[in-house]
Amino acid sequence: MREISQMWREYLNGREVGADDDFFALGGNSLTGIKIIDRVARDYGVQLSVRDFYLAQTPARVAGLIEQGRAGT
C-alpha cells in the first residue's frame, strides 16, 4: 500500500498521500487517474477499470484491488 501512496504522490505533484486520502480531494482528475491506471497495469500486471479506480478513491482500496487482481479473483 505504501508503494501505491508513493505512486500517487508522483502523479499529484509531490503532495503527501496517506493510505486513506481521497484521490479527488488531493486534486486528482480523470487524466491523472488514467495515468495511474496505466502505471498499475505496467508495474503490477493488473488492469483496473476506470470505474473501479474511481470508486476505490484511496491508495488502501486501490492496493486491495491490485491484490485481488494478482490473486485472480
CATH number, domain of 20, equals 1.10.1200.10
Number of domains in the chain: 1
For residue 54, the model assigns a pLDDT of 96
Handedness of CA 68, 69, 70, 73 (dihedral sign): positive
Tell me, yes or no, whether 63 lies in a domain.
yes
The range of the structural domain enclosing residue 56 comes to: 2-68
Sheet strands (E) in 1-73: none
Tell me, yes or no, whether 44 lies in a domain.
yes
| Residues written for the chain | 73
pLDDT for 13-54, tens place per residue? 998 999 999 999 999 999 999 999 999 999 999 999 999 999
For residue 73, the model assigns a pLDDT of 58
Tell me, yes or no, whether 73 lies in a domain.
no
Angstrom distance (rounded) from CA 55 to CA 71: 20
Is the distance from CB of 41 to CB of 47 less than 8 angstroms?
yes
